[in-house]
A and B are shown apart, each in its own frame.
Chain A
């Protein structure tokens, strides 16, 4: 089949044509230079969707929750785009993307678009190209875009800097009340979900989170009262409450200029991140050969890592973009 230039895909993406959306996502994810003007066009036309992040430890039930959540949102008629992220192998670069296993029922719905992404070396819980993928799905007319992060640990908070509403999923039995007051992932929640609430120890997890919130950490979210929503896929409970909480947060953001503030934070983050990426690419491209020489001096301890790195950077030419 003939190659279609990315700019020619844009009008088809704006009409919501699935094949065009799929191809542009592939190119955005690959970091293709060819698609940059198209992504610029897309960015100008995006900005309508409610972007929701779902994060939590591996096995906490994120995929199952997303499947139930999307089925419930579809009852309200809204179209939903999903980016589901799984890890790339640090050794082969390959990945097994298994989030669709739990999404069988919703994946056949023409109002739902599911895309699996591998992290491709990105840290922080998102994949390379996730932010561009959000723009593409937004511009394609999906009214809600849900980002399901890779299973995270305690410190992968990048999702909160990319979404309007962050949902943190905790499973029962994974920690005590001290875990709940530690810094990091629990702080970024606009909404807490405690999954698997058919289990007997779920009440304690709900209580620990509510206690944590009552200690004043909620003030980090302004006047928004962070809710704790218990859910159970086995008993089919809690999902309607979660949809209501997500919609309530969207309404909250749209009062005053809160949404503008959130968007400003996201844009600031994207600007800085893109800058870092450009520098990193130039660094990787231009450092060829220099590393080995400096490494010899490090091995001989005639240079410190810090000084060697400064030498390495002296030779990067910012104007020399590909």
Chain B
């Protein structure tokens, strides 16, 4: 085709021919956020959902009073990268081990679990030892939440 001057910048990157084994075209991080059990305090989880949305993530919010089974079913069907559980009820030492066990049973250990809420320091350590990737306490700034989710997904690697 004739180069008429107006179109003179033809230095384009070569078309990609190699077969890249991952979804590079549109890498959107998907996060499922949920409240589990008898805990109706959802202002925090809504703020987190909004923060992640504004960071370009797709956030699936399941609403209140979910069981761990419902959360894991939804996370597998939605193929999310991360499950975020907001918990203020004190049931975290029951809920998180159950979630991790169910993910293992469903062959979905590539879904990372994080939590947020009011949790004693020594139990934060216990939960991380069990396999919860990160626990955010009540003083975590929104930017740190975004950075933490991105880091966890990068560390997990492509799937």
Contacts and interface: CB of A to CB of B under 8 A. Distances in A.
Given A1-B159, A93-B56, A101 B62 contact: yes
Interface stretch (A213-221, A227-235, A290-298): A290-298
B28 A108 contact: no
Name which of A33, A96, A285, A321 has the most chain B CB atoms within 10 A of its CB. A96
A95 B59 contact: yes
A95 B53 contact: yes
- Size category of the B interface is 35 or more
B105 to A, nearest CB: 12
Q: Is the interface of B mostly helix, strand, loop or mixed?
A: loop
A27 B30 CA distance: 13
Interface stretch (B74-82, B83-91, B115-123): B74-82
B47 to A, nearest CB: 12
B153 interface: no
Contacts of A68: none
B70 A297 contact: no
Interface stretch (B1-9, B92-100, B125-133, B135-143): B1-9
B58 A97 contact: yes
Interface stretch (A15-23, A48-56, A196-204, A262-270): A15-23
Interface of A: 1, 3, 5, 18-19, 22-23, 25-27, 29-35, 88-89, 91-98, 100-101, 104, 107-108, 113-116, 118, 120, 128, 285-286, 288-290, 293-294, 297, 311-312, 314-315, 320-322
Interface of B: 1, 4, 6-12, 15-17, 19-28, 30, 49-50, 52-63, 66, 69-70, 73-74, 76-79, 106-110, 158-159
Chain A to chain B: the 7 pairs with minimum beta-carbon distance, closest first: A101-B63, A94-B53, A22-B79, A289-B9, A30-B23, A30-B26, A32-B23
